Each structure stands twice: as structure tokens, then as C-alpha cells.
């Protein structure tokens, strides 16, 4: 049970006041974009509604279209979020998993824990109640679209995370072509097949996708085998009431090749760490998830949405092998239960959203010492639990023509409890804590034209520690980490313009945040594969996020077009007058990342053009003594899209550049430290899609 309910009560107390404001007429106000789902026989927001939600948010939000993902090789979040500014997502040696950071979240022990971003599927949580992420179970190709709300702009999802939220919207049989076959293959033994079947019968619809994937990997000891099943079924109970059920089952077996020194990476980036082969490092996960979401259109101006979800993940994870001194195999079962309730109402010039999110997570199992192919001996029994309640209210008030004031607050309260028992001595470690906060937000949108906006906001940031961070407190004993708190300000613009037969579009944001108590983790040098966590005194998270795109006609009819696209992120993440680290930069994220392409498209459906990645240097330690080099990559994309089929080809890293994709973070990293995960070498992929 929660010991501190004051924060949640404060947010709920705001609801009657805001709802009362929503009833008051304001005759001079302009028109606010509609974001309520009503009367369209859909359980999930359409593309236009997702764009309307974006235009009604005074900050950085990106909508990623799932159709575009089928024109290139996409296996994880790093591929999916390639052109999302403000996001640093890197893939490398862990199969479908990606290192994910938004606006400087999760800049610490990147190979050990993922946090800082709330992941949802159809508005229901995938992220555990303590804030830890297992993004290997989020399949980008199973999303109709994804809405990326960066930083405090995720208030509409109730998220209490530094990096914001990503909501993956599931396709249904009512979206379009319900039958699909997708085949992909290429370098490093990759082959993947997906088949989707579905149909609509009156007020009932259903869609099922089966997937099989195999890959040898570009490094030794990197083989992956994955099978998955995704299904959803919807039922229109009445004209105003509809419900949808979701089910997911994933069985993923992944070998891990480990980390390399700088010299090893330059000599042979395809090699595996010797200990990873000897210890047969793996990340084997079996997952199943069920969920339900029900929407009631109360009337033409209001709706109520309720949802529940339950997920179980079985993890088998040999990760450290240095006999006879130390070996570590994690064998645990994680269970997540979640519930959400959202009420939205338009009244006069107000659009009010109020909601509740509740999550409960339990982790049971143990950490074992093991011999490859032999015995497992329990070292530490694990019995962890967390719960989290988020209550939020948001009003979008169109108080004057072309002006919208967006204001609201989130209250969060939760508990974290880590209980580990040493099997040999019986000694119990039992850190636990309660966390709560009230986080207000205010923003402004100025509509300069029907397609151009200016926006600004000031918001409070808050994030409690994960269970992993709690049990890894550097002080030891039952010491408890504090929550991160801070304030961020943001200004920006987005829009599009047409010039004769030419089109340009842009999305730009500048943000500056000051944080206190940011939770940072580094590798524990005495126990590889584990980490030590601290609350830093003060840190700064600032940056510039820009997405620029255009379509230029190069002939009189506009049949031939040149379409450049560039995602630009400039980062300034650093300590601020820290007693130990001074003004050092935070590790892991590059100073800049520019990713883009320049495609030639023909009206017939053909496209061809180069891709590019320019990534700045990064530090691998808090002390800024180990620099990871900048790199530039070049590639090529081509394809053809017809009415019911399409094909593509994609070449990556044509220069075969050797580079580090991501790495383990340390306090002070020695020059010969084995911490680097190599990036993908020269590779070629092809794919085909059939729609029925």
C-alpha cells in the first residue's frame, strides 16, 4: 500500500476546478484541433488524430508512420527512431534491444538497465512500474504508428520520466489492407518472415500476425532466434461503446558477444569477448502479454477510456564468467500489471484531459553462480516489488484567436522495495522507499498560419529510481536513493510550406533543464556486469532538436522529385559545479547526431538515394578521461512501391567504418578497458511486401 497519497490527492483536487473552467464560454477563442476519438469505429487514434495531438502540444512530439518502416530494414528501436530528433538510440550486439535515450535520459550503465522513457502499447504500459524498460519486447513492425512525446511533453500520457514517452499504436483489421506478407533478409545471415491475416465481420474484427526471425549476427557468438505472435480483436458493443483485446507471445533466444577494448575493436570488430564465448553469455526471454481497452463515447464532446494489461517475462541471462572467482547468471520472472483511466471533454474553448495510470511490478528468482553446461548454484535470492500511481489533468484553452494556453499537473506516488537474500550467509539486503511529487506544467501555442506554429513551455521534471538502481546504491547497506527533480523550459516551431510545386516542413525545439539528484549508474569494477548508483548534485540537460524535410520538383509535371530529410540533435548534458566531477560532460550521448537521406522519387513509385550518419564524440566515463571517437557512415536506399506490393534494398556503412555503437559506462575508464560494443560493418538488406 502507498504510504503517501498527498501528491495524488492534490492532482485529483485540481480536476473539479479545471472541469469547471471547461464549462465557461469564451466567445473570442479560436478553434482547437480535435483529438478525441469518436464515431469512427476505431479503437486507436488515426494518423490525423495523432497529428492533431501533436499540434495541440506546446513542445517536441514526433509521429512515426509504420508504413515508412516497411521501406527499409527495421529490427529494433534504433532503426525505427532513426529520424526522430532528440532521440539517441543505438543498436549493436543484443539482438532486438537498443540503447535508448531521449533528452539525456539513461546516460549511465547502458548495458545493465534501461530507464527514463515510458513505453506504452495502445496507451497501456509496457514499462515496468519502477520505470525500467525491456524494449526488446517492443516490435516496431507491429506498430501502425508511434507517437514520441519528448521530455515533459508526455504529460498527456501521465509519464514521470526525464525522456518522456513513446506510445506504439497497434494496427487493426479496420485500418486498411488486413492481409500482408513481409519478407526480409541480408547480411550476417539475417532472414525474417511475417504474415498477417485479418478481417471484419459486422461489428467484429480481428487481426493476427506471426513472425519468425533468424540472424547469425555480424560478430562471433551473436546468433538470434525469435518467434512471435501478435493478435487483437475488437467488438463494437453499441454505436458509442467499443472494446478491443490484445495478446502477444514472444520467444527470443539471443547469444551475447560481450565487449571489446579499443585495440580489439580496431583489429577485429567481428570478434567476441573471450569470456562471453567461454561463459556462453545469453539473453533468453519468453514473454506473454494480454490487455484490454474499452472506449465509451459519452456524447459528441466527451469520451471515457479504460484499460488493463498483464505481462510476464521469463529471463535467463548468463552475463559474467570469470571462474573460479566469479560468475553470474540471472534467472528471474518479472510480472507487470497495469491499469489506465482517461476522461476527455471539449466544452466551449477548453479541451480537458484527466487520467489515472497504475502499475504494479514483481520480480522473483535469483542470481546464480554457474559452470557452462553444468551446475547452477544459487548465490542471491531476489524478491523485488514496485508500484506506481500517476494522476494527471491537462486543459488546452483556446483563449483567443490563434492562441492556446496548455496547462496542467501530474501527481505521482509510488514505492520501491528490493529484497535480496544471500544464499550462503542468509544476510538480507532490503532497501525500500516511498516517492511522491506534484509536477505542474504550463505552455503556449501561437498559430501563425494554418500550417505553422510557435510554442513554448515550462515544466517540472521528476523521476524515481528503478529497482535495479535502488539495490545498487553505491553507499551499500539499506541506503535509499532519492528521486530526480528539476525544471525545464522549451521553445520551438513546427510547420510546412508550399512553394509552387515544392514543399518544405520543419520541427525545431530548444530546451534547457536543470536537475537535482539525477540518478546515475556506472559499472562496478569489483563485480563486472553489475553497477553502482548515485544521486548527482546538479546536472544540466540542454539541447537543440531539428527535423528538416523537403520535396522539390525537378520537372514541369512534378513526376521527378528530390526529397532530402535530416534529423539533427545537438546535446549539452553535463554536471554543474559537482564536488567530484566539476562541469564534466555526462557520458554515453554524443555532442551531435545528424542522420538523414536524400532520395529521388518518381511518381511511378521508384525511389533511390544516399543515407548518412554524422555522430560526434562521446565520453565513456564520468571523469571524461576516455573519449569514444566521432564517426561518419554512408549508405544507400532504393525501392519500388506499387498498389499491392513493394520491394526495397538497403546498404549500410558502405565505407566499412569501424566504430563503437554503445558501451559500458565507468567512473574512470582505463585506456585498455573492455567496454565497447562495435557497430554494424558494411551490410546489405533486401525486403518485399505483399498486400491482399
In DSSP terms, 647 is beta-bridged to 640, 688
| 482-531: pLDDT as tens digits | 999 999 999 999 999 998 889 999 999 999 999 999 999 887 777 666 78
Closest CA to 41 of 197, 232, 156, 200: 200
* pLDDT score of 32: 31
Instruction: Please say if the pLDDT value at position 409 is more than 90.
Output: yes
DSSP SS3 for 157: helix
* pLDDT score of 114: 80
* pLDDT score of 111: 57
* pLDDT score of 408: 96
User: In the structure, what pLDDT confidence band is assigned to residue 437 with cuts at 50, 70 and 90?
Assistant: very high
DSSP state of 260: B
User: In the structure, what pLDDT confidence band is assigned to residue 135 with cuts at 50, 70 and 90?
Assistant: low
Domain range for 547: 6-691
| 531-557: pLDDT as tens digits | 888 999 999 999 999 999 999 999 988
- Per-residue pLDDT averaged across 469-476, rounded? 85
499 inside domain? yes
For 348-431, where are the E strands, in sequence order? 350-370, 376-400, 403-417, 420-422, 428-429
pTM over cut 0.85 = yes
> Are 652 and 683 within 8 A, CB to CB?
yes
* pLDDT score of 1: 36
User: In the structure, what pLDDT confidence band is assigned to residue 2 with cuts at 50, 70 and 90?
Assistant: very low
- For the chain, the domain total comes to 1
* pLDDT score of 91: 83
- Per-residue pLDDT averaged across 643-669, rounded? 94
* Residue 448, all three cell numbers: 501563425
* pLDDT score of 94: 56
Cα-based distances in Å from 375 to 279, 436, 510, 529, 687: 13, 44, 54, 20, 43
1 inside domain? no
> Are 412 and 160 within 8 A, CB to CB?
yes
Closest CA to 278 of 316, 324, 215: 324
Residue 579 exposure: Cα atoms within 13 Å on the Cβ side: 3
What phi-psi label fits residue 103: left (phi over 0), alpha (psi between -120 and 50 degrees) or beta? left
> Are 461 and 162 within 8 A, CB to CB?
yes
> Domain of 121: which CATH number?
2.40.170.20
* Residue 636, all three cell numbers: 544507400
For 536-581, where are the E strands, in sequence order? 538-553, 560-575
* pLDDT score of 529: 62
Where is pLDDT greater, at 29 or 351? 351
Instruction: Please say if the pLDDT value at position 12 is more than 60.
Output: no
386 inside domain? yes
In DSSP terms, 405 is beta-bridged to 397, 444
What phi-psi label fits residue 580: left (phi over 0), alpha (psi between -120 and 50 degrees) or beta? alpha
User: In the structure, what pLDDT confidence band is assigned to residue 97 with cuts at 50, 70 and 90?
Assistant: confident
Instruction: Please say if the pLDDT value at position 245 is more than 60.
Output: yes
352 inside domain? yes
- Per-residue pLDDT averaged across 368-378, rounded? 93
153 inside domain? yes
User: In the structure, what pLDDT confidence band is assigned to residue 46 with cuts at 50, 70 and 90?
Assistant: low
- Per-residue pLDDT averaged across 376-398, rounded? 96
For 279-349, where are the E strands, in sequence order? 284-299, 302-322, 326-347
> Are 455 and 445 within 8 A, CB to CB?
yes
Q: How many helices (H) and strands (E) does the chain have?
A: 7, 37
Closest CA to 221 of 370, 322, 93: 93
What integer best gives the mean pLDDT of the chain?
89
Instruction: Please say if the pLDDT value at position 241 is more than 50.
Output: yes
281 inside domain? yes
Amino acid at each position: 500500500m502507498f504510504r503517501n497519497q498527498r501528491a495524488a490527492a492534490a492532482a485529483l483536487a485540481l480536476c473539479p476546478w479545471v472541469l469547471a473552467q471547461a464549462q465557461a464560454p469564451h466567445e473570442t477563442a479560436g478553434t482547437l484541433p480535435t483529438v478525441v476519438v469518436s464515431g469512427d469505429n476505431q479503437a486507436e487514434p488515426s494518423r490525423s488524430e495523432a497529428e492533431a495531438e501533436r499540434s495541440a502540444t506546446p513542445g517536441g512530439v514526433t509521429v512515426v508512420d509504420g508504413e515508412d518502416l516497411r521501406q527499409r530494414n527495421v529490427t529494433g528501436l534504433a532503426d525505427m527512431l532513426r529520424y526522430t530528433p532528440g532521440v539517441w538510440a543505438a543498436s549493436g550486439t543484443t539482438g532486438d534491444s537498443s540503447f535508448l535515450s531521449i533528452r539525456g535520459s539513461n546516460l549511465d550503465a547502458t548495458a545493465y538497465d534501461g530507464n527514463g522513457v515510458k513505453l506504452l502499447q495502445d496507451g497501456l504500459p509496457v514499462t515496468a512500474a519502477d520505470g525500467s524498460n525491456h524494449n526488446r519486447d517492443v516490435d516496431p513492425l507491429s506498430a501502425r504508428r508511434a507517437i514520441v512525446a519528448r521530455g515533459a511533453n508526455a504529460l498527456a500520457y501521465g509519464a514521470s520520466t526525464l525522456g518522456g514517452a513513446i506510445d506504439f499504436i497497434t494496427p487493426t483489421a479496420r485500418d486498411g489492407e488486413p492481409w500482408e506478407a513481409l519478407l526480409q533478409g541480408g547480411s550476417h545471415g539475417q532472414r525474417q518472415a511475417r504474415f498477417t491475416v485479418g478481417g471484419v465481420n459486422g461489428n467484429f474484427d480481428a487481426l493476427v500476425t506471426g513472425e519468425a526471425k533468424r540472424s547469425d549476427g555480424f560478430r562471433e557468438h551473436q546468433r538470434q532466434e525469435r518467434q512471435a505472435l501478435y493478435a487483437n480483436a475488437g467488438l463494437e458493443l453499441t454505436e458509442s461503446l467499443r472494446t478491443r483485446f490484445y495478446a502477444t507471445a514472444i520467444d527470443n533466444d539471443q547469444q551475447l558477444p560481450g565487449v571489446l577494448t579499443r585495440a580489439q575493436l580496431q583489429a577485429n570488430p567481428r570478434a567476441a569477448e573471450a569470456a562471453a564465448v567461454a561463459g556462453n553469455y545469453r539473453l533468453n526471454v519468453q514473454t506473454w502479454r494480454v490487455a484490454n481497452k474499452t472506449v465509451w463515447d459519452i456524447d459528441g464532446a466527451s469520451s471515457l477510456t479504460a484499460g488493463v494489461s498483464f505481462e510476464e517475462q521469463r529471463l535467463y541471462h548468463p552475463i559474467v564468467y570469470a571462474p573460479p572467482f566469479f560468475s553470474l547468471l540471472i534467472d528471474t520472472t518479472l510480472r507487470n500489471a497495469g491499469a489506465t483511466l482517461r476522461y476527455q471533454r471539449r466544452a466551449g474553448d477548453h479541451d480537458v484531459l484527466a487520467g489515472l495510470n497504475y502499475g504494479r511490478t514483481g520480480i522473483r528468482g535469483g542470481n546464480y553462480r554457474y559452470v557452462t553446461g553444468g551446475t547452477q548454484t544459487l548465490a542471491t535470492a531476489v524478491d523485488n516489488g514496485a508500484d506506481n500511481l500517476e494522476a494527471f489533468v491537462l486543459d488546452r484553452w483556446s483563449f483567443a484567436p490563434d492562441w492556446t494556453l496548455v496547462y496542467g499537473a501530474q501527481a505521482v506516488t509510488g514505492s520501491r522495495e528490493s529484497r535480496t537474500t544471500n544464499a550462503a550467509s542468509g544476510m538480507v539486503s532490503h532497501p525500500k522507499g516511498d516517492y511522491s511529487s506534484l509536477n505542474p506544467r504550463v505552455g503556449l501555442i501561437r498559430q501563425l498560419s494554418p500550417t505553422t506554429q510557435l510554442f513554448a513551455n515550462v515544466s517540472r521534471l521528476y523521476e524515481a529510481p528503478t529497482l535495479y538502481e535502488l539495490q545498487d546504491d553505491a553507499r551499500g547497506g539499506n541506503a535509499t536513493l532519492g528521486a530526480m527533480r528539476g525544471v525545464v523550459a522549451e521553445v520551438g516551431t513546427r510547420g510546412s510550406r508550399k512553394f509552387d510545386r515544392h514543399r518544405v516542413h520543419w520541427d525545431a525545439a530548444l530546451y534547457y533543464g536543470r536537475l537535482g539528484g539525477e540518478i546515475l549508474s556506472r559499472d562496478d569494477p569489483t563485480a563486472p556486469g553489475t553497477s553502482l548508483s548515485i544521486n548527482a548534485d546538479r546536472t544540466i540537460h540542454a539541447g537543440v532538436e531539428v527535423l528538416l524535410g523537403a520535396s522539390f520538383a525537378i520537372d514541369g509535371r512534378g513526376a521527378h522529385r528530390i526529397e532530402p530529410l535530416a534529423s539533427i540533435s545537438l546535446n549539452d548534458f553535463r554536471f554543474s559545479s559537482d564536488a567530484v566531477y566539476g562541469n564534466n560532460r555526462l557520458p554515453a550521448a554524443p555532442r551531435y547526431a545528424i542522420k538523414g537521406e536524400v532520395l529521388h522519387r518518381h511518381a511511378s513509385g521508384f525511389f533511390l538515394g544516399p543515407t548518412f550518419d554524422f555522430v560526434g564524440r562521446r565520453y565513456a566515463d564520468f571523469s571524461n578521461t576516455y573519449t569514444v571517437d566521432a564517426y561518419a557512415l554512408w549508405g544507400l536506399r532504393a525501392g519500388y512501391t506499387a498498389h499491392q506490393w513493394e520491394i526495397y534494398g538497403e546498404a549500410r556503412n558502405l565505407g566499412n567504418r569501424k566504430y563503437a555503437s554503445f558501451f559500458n559506462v565507468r567512473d574512470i575508464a582505463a585506456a585498455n578497458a573492455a567496454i565497447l560494443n562495435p557497430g554494424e560493418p558494411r551490410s546489405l538488406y533486401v525486403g518485399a511486401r505483399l498486400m491482399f
